[in-house]
Amino acid sequence: MALFKIQMFKEHPFMPGRAFSNSYIIAADTIAAAAAAVTPALTYEKKIFDGNFTITYARVSSLVEDDDVFTTVTLNEPGIRATSGETTPLFNTVRLDVNSTAGRPSRWHYRGLHEGEMANNQVDPGMRALVEAAWGDFVVDLTAAGFAPHQPDGELLADFGTCAIEVKMRKLHRRRKKKVVI
């Protein structure tokens, strides 16, 4: 089985027209089979994000180097998480760590914390429990569909995750400053 990446793109009114994403890796026989895993990924992300976020589309691609084959699935579905308070800036994230069979844990940063979900630079235990439970449900849904989450090196991921207690501050882009050669 080959490894495929499912990249879920989202938009928020704070950044109209500018999407950000989270990626999940699964093993499947073909790219068409891997596209079936978009449904459990959508269910998972809808639980984590509130109605201000629109999960716009998913991009399914192989992890084979120099392979430009991919497919997209249009979604345009809002999140369903209940919230209270104003949305904090999108660089404030809750981080989910999921251990693998070997190596470092995989990490995901989820934006959209609200004022009622954090205090003193710590994520509320209820919010952490929601994200951790959603990961467990995601793994169950993937397994029922015949998939399992992996790391890019092919190691299997655990069926439970742990959220960091502190609010993490993730950059909104991955551009790096280029070194000036004099």
Each residue of 44-79: pLDDT tens digit? 999 999 999 999 999 999 998 888 889 999 999 999
At 22 the pLDDT is 96
Q: What is the pLDDT of residue 97?
A: 96
pTM of the model: 0.89
119-151 tens-digit pLDDT:
999 999 999 999 999 999 999 999 999 999 999
Phi first, then psi: what are they for 164, rounded to 5°? -65, 145
Share of the chain above pLDDT 90, in %: 73
CA distance linking residue 57 with residue 28, whole number of Å = 20
On whether the CB atoms of residues 5 and 24 are closer than 8 A, the answer is: yes
DSSP conformation class of 113: -
CA dihedral (58, 62, 67, 69) in degrees, to 10, reads: -40
Number of helical (H) and strand (E) elements in the chain, helices listed first: 3, 11
